[in-house]
Amino acid sequence: MKIDIVSVFPEYFDVLNLSLFGKAQAKGLIEVRTHNLRDWTHDVHHSVDDTPVGGGAGMVMKPVVWAECLDELLGLEACDVAGVDMTDDAGDTDDTDAADTSATTDAGTATAATAEAAAGKPVLIFPNPSAPLFTQRDATELSHADRLLFGCGRYEGYDARIPAYYRARGVDVREYSIGDYVLNGGEVATSVMLEAITRLIPGFMGNPESIVEESYTGEGALLEHRQYTKPAQWRGLHVPDVLLSGDHGKVDRFRRDEALARTNEIRPDLIEELDCRALDKADRKT
Ligand code: 6GU
C-alpha cells in the first residue's frame, strides 16, 4: 500500500518509522511519503490559509495551494468542474451523491461522480471533526486500497470546495472524524486512522489471529471480554475459576456472556445496532 500524507507539520509523522509501522515499511508492505503543503506555495510567507468568507474567527486553508499539491500527487491536470452545487450540503458529505456520471473532460470540465470502493484507485482522505465517524468497518475497507492520500487540515479547517472538487473529478474522497472532541489539526487523526487501517494488512501484525477476535470486528461488534494472565491469585484478586477449568466450551460461554454484558453496560448503542443473526441461542436466554 502506498501512503501519501500532506501536512504543514510533516515531522509529526516521523514516528511512523518506529515499531510495527517501521517494520512494515522495511518489509515493503507499506510505503509512506510525507509532503509539506508549504512546498506548493509561491508567496514569500508560504501562506496556506486565509480569512473565512462570510466572516468569523480563525483561518481557513486555501483551495489554490491544496489543489496544486493534490493535482500533482494524483497526476491530474487542472480543469474546471461543472454540476457541483456548494449550497447542496447533502451532495458533498459522502458516497450517496445524487449524480453518478463518471468524470469526463469534454470542454475542459469534469462532472460529479459517485465515490466508489477502492479498486486500484487512490482514496483521498480528509480528517474533519465535522464528518462521519471513522469506524472499524472503514478501516477494514481501506486496508484493501492500493493507495491512500491523507490531507491534514490545520486551523479552523479547509475550504469545502477542496473535497468537492476532487469528488467531481472522479476521485474516491472520504472525510472522517475520529471522535466527538476537537483536535488542533488532522495529523493525530491521520495517525489514528493509519494505524487502524495498516494493522489489518496481511503480514503487518506478528500474530494475525490477534486481530480476529478484537472489539468492533466481525459480525458481532461487541466490546471484548476481559483478559487475565498468571498468577491465578494476585494481591487478593482471583482469576475467574471457569478460566482455569480447561473446559473450552465453558470458557467461550463465559467470555461471550461477559462481552455481551459489558457492551450492554458501556456501549448500549452497539447492542442497538447488533444484528440478531449474530446472536446464538444461549445469548438470547441471557
Ligand atoms: Cl478528524 N480532526 C480534528 N481536527 N479534530 C478531530 C477529528 C479530526 N476527529 C475528532 N476530532
Tens-place pLDDT, residues 146-165 = 999 999 998 789 999 999 99
Beta carbons within 10 angstroms of residue 130's beta carbon: 9
pLDDT at 239: 98
Centroid of ligand 1 to alpha carbon of 176 (angstroms): 8
Q: Is 179 known to sit in a ligand binding site?
A: yes
Instruction: Find out whether the beta carbon of 128 lies less than 6 Å from any atom of ligand 1.
Output: yes
* pLDDT above 90 for 111: no
Q: Tell me if 70 sits within 8 A of 151, measured CB to CB.
A: yes
Centroid of ligand 1 to alpha carbon of 122 (angstroms): 22
pLDDT at 107: 38
What is d(CA 213, CA 225) in angstroms, rounded to the nearest whole number? Answer: 10
pLDDT level of residue 18 (50, 70, 90 thresholds): confident
* pLDDT above 50 for 142: yes
Return the best residue to mutate from 126, 138, 158, 177 for the ligand 1 pocket (most ligand atoms within 8 A of CB). Answer: 177
pLDDT at 209: 73
pLDDT at 221: 84
Instruction: Find out whether the beta carbon of 181 lies less than 6 Å from any atom of ligand 1.
Output: yes
Of 71-85, 107-121, 156-170, 207-221, give the lowest mean pLDDT range.
107-121
**Structural domains for the chain:** 2-198 (3.40.1280.10), 215-285 (1.10.1270.20)
Pairing of strands 80-82, 109-111: parallel
In this prediction, residues 205-234 reach a mean pLDDT of 80
pLDDT at 44: 98
Instruction: Find out whether the beta carbon of 240 lies less than 6 Å from any atom of ligand 1.
Output: no
* pLDDT above 90 for 173: yes
Tens-place pLDDT, residues 37-82 = 999 999 999 999 999 999 999 999 999 999 999 999 999 999 999 9
ipTM: 0.96
Query: What average pLDDT does the chain have?
Result: 88
Centroid of ligand 1 to alpha carbon of 187 (angstroms): 9
DSSP secondary structure code for residue 5 in this structure = E
pLDDT at 284: 67
Residues of 251-281 as b/e, b for ≥16 C-beta within 10 angstroms?
A: bebbbbebbbebbeeebeebeeebeeeeeee
Residue 43, helix vs strand vs coil? coil
Instruction: Find out whether the beta carbon of 153 lies less than 6 Å from any atom of ligand 1.
Output: no
Instruction: Find out whether the beta carbon of 130 lies less than 6 Å from any atom of ligand 1.
Output: no
Centroid of ligand 1 to alpha carbon of 193 (angstroms): 11
What is d(CA 41, CA 43) in angstroms, rounded to the nearest whole number? Answer: 6
Centroid of ligand 1 to alpha carbon of 186 (angstroms): 6
pTM (2 decimals)?
Answer: 0.87
pLDDT at 208: 73
Residue 40, helix vs strand vs coil? helix
